[in-house]
Amino acid sequence: MLSIIGITPHPPIIIPEVGGNRIAEVEKTVSGLKKLSRYIKSLEPGLVIVITPHGQVTYEGPSIQAAQRLTGNFGQFGCPGLEISLETDLKLLDLVIEEATKKKVPPVILDNRSSKFLGQGNLDHGATVPLYYLRQEGLDAPGLHIAFSYQPYEQLYSFGSALRQAVERRGLKTAVIASGDLSHRLIPGAPAGYDPRGKEFDQLLVRLIKEKKIDEMLKIDGRLVEAAGECGLRSFIIALGMLDGADFQSEIISYEGPFGVGYLVAALRPS
């Protein structure tokens, strides 16, 4: 059963071994992720699902890694010896395929036969960063690695609903991590350049999540999304689809944008 959805950012600089002394510049985010991770650990989930923007993204549907064991490290950020792994729950994978197919939003399965796709068995930093903090709290549960797709928001939301059905049928406490950064254009010199609408997007998204206005999230002006240069909205929409028709509590744990990129940590708990 679905126990919690955590919304998390994924800047590698918040990993102590990567960020070094600069981690002090993202203190709010680090504290927020520690708080979220402690809470998730206290729920004792048997499964952890990570939804990321940095896996194999397609137009056909959200992609799911089918390798039994997934691994990733921080080599591209100067720490190749720091490795994170995730065991795939194949029973849950089968249920997701079944439920999503019913809703006509089948996922793309990445396995050894999928020669069209590269990187099978790898965890991207959108997954390894939040998983790092869960591992620090002693949580090492199996689960799924899912990358969002470029399908319309309504289809992503429907896939999230199917994902919830699969989780309920699996019968284990499940934590979901919706990984994604907000605007990359908050200040002059930001990674994707500066756009004054970046701040507008972040303020709107944080407010809609806090006020639980899911319908409005599905209708955010595409021009605003494009101007913001975000990477997390589609991850969040899939996760919010898992709450379709359900009451839930929403807590904004932290938000900051010290490097021109918005970092949000939030917890959504089904009532």
The answer to whether 241 touches 164, Cβ cutoff 8 Å, is: yes
The pLDDT score that the predictor gives to residue 111 is 81
pLDDT in tens, 81-136: 999 999 999 999 999 999 999 999 999 999 865 445 444 568 999 999 999 999 99
The pLDDT score that the predictor gives to residue 248 is 97
d(CA 78, CA 20): 11
The pLDDT score that the predictor gives to residue 115 is 43
pLDDT in tens, 132-159: 999 999 999 999 999 999 999 999 999 9
The reply to whether the predicted model has a pTM over 0.85 is yes
72, pLDDT greater than 60 = yes
d(CA 34, CA 30): 6
Q: What average pLDDT does the segment 164-185 reach?
A: 98
Q: Considering the chain, what is the average pLDDT of its residues?
A: 95
Q: What average pLDDT does the segment 60-76 reach?
A: 94
pLDDT in tens, 11-61: 999 999 999 999 999 999 999 999 999 999 999 999 999 999 999 999 999
DSSP 26: G
218, pLDDT greater than 50 = yes
The pLDDT score that the predictor gives to residue 119 is 47
54 SS3 class: coil
Written as one letter, the residue type at 73 is N
Residue with structure tokens 């137009």? 59
Point out which residues pair with 249 in neighbouring strands.
Answer: 269
d(CA 12, CA 123): 13
Q: Which residue has the higher pLDDT, 113 or 186?
A: 186
- CATH fold group of domain 2-270: Protocatechuate 4,5-dioxygenase; Chain B (3.40.830)
The pLDDT score that the predictor gives to residue 155 is 98
Q: What are the b/e assignments for 227-264, b being 16+ CB within 10 Å?
A: bbbbbbbbbbbbbbbbbeeeebebeebbbbbbbbbbbb
Parse the chain into domains and list their residue ranges. Answer: 2-270
The pLDDT score that the predictor gives to residue 118 is 46
Written as one letter, the residue type at 50 is V
Identify the CA nearest to 14 among candidates 35, 38, 31: 31
